[in-house]
Structure 1
Amino acid sequence: MPAQLSDPAFTVRVAVDAAGEIVGFAKIGPVAFPGDWPATAVELYQLYVRSDQHGAGVGPALMDWAIDVARAEGRTEIILSVYVDNHRAHRFYQRYGFVEIGRYVFMVGEQPDDDRIMRLVL
């Protein structure tokens, strides 16, 4: 993460509450998935919201930010991966128009996670 924070190819947005505590963040950057992706695609690497803030509008604010930044940069699509059993996240992304386009094995240490690749055409 520190290397990406200083890399101009990545953009990060942090959400804070009224007390200045971090309650979520989103990070976008170049698509890292294997395959032939358009140069105008961008990846939503992370969109995390602290669990006590679920339903408080933090996630939608971060997603709106990511979409706005992608459009302002002239991007034509946003790509992301999400764990197959993270049903809450799947519903969230689907509300924005993301559709599943493939599978991806994401390694968490020695553990392979079964993820789904989703795409939003802007």
Structure 2
Amino acid sequence: MNYVIRSVRADEWAAARELRLLALRDPVAHLAFLETYEEALAKPASYWQERTAKAAEGADGAQQVIAEGPDGEWVGTLTVLVEEAGTKDWAGFPVERRQGHVVGVFVRPEFRGIGLTEVLFDAGLEWAWARGAERVRLIVHEDNGRAQTFYRRVGFVPSGVVVPLAANSDPDARELEFVLERP
């Protein structure tokens, strides 16, 4: 596999923006992401610069991992956020222990099925474990079967936590928490 798996650098905000916009045009984006293409497109360059810097190489609270193809093009990404015990998560649930939270998983369709997502997850998990995460979690839409199948294959299991989420104007949308305990 001639791909480089690495952390994003702060000055790569334009490439991070481009890949995010592509992800938001994926046919299952409405199930996988909490924002729309139009919302992301409207955000100024300063937003993308700050977002990328907060998840860049050397950042403490988050890390964005990318898969860079042989020609330098970005073909996949995921981000791991650190959630501290004693705080509340994005949905208002209490965080009981230090954990990683995987978000923004995307691999370009033409590069799916060749093992890149597994390698991205390995890198993200390694980063989280190195920062003392006791577990890593992610939230997945109940109707996103493709993602759920993958997450189970790499060791994540449903925790039983259900997050009601009015995503993209669907008042009945529900997200399921999947977790992976530290080995």
Distance 1:6 1:21 in 2: 20
Runs of 4+ in 1 over 4 A off after TM superposition: none
Partner residue of 2:28?
Answer: none
Task: State yes or no: 1:120 paired with 2:167.
Answer: no
The residue identity in structure 2 corresponding to 1:118 is: F
Radius of gyration: which is bigger? Answer: 2
Inter-CA distance 30–70: structure 2 relative to 1 (3 Å threshold): closer
Cα deviation, residue 68, structure 1: 0.6
Cα deviation, residue 38, structure 1: 3.0
The residue identity in structure 2 corresponding to 1:78 is: V
Contact 2:118 2:154 (C-alpha < 8 Å) held by counterparts: no
With the length of structure 2 as denominator, give the TM-score of the two structures.
0.60
**More strand by percentage:** 1
**Identity among equivalent pairs (%):** 23
Distance 1:14 1:107 in 2: 29
Inter-CA distance 48–106: structure 2 relative to 1 (3 Å threshold): farther
Task: State yes or no: 1:19 paired with 2:71.
Answer: yes
User: What is the root-mean-square deviation of aligned Cα atoms in Å?
Assistant: 1.8
Ranges in structure 1 where 5+ consecutive residues have no aligned partner: none
Instruction: Indicate the SS of the match to 1:30.
Output: strand
**More helix by percentage:** 2
Ranges in structure 2 where 5+ consecutive residues have no aligned partner: 1-46, 84-88
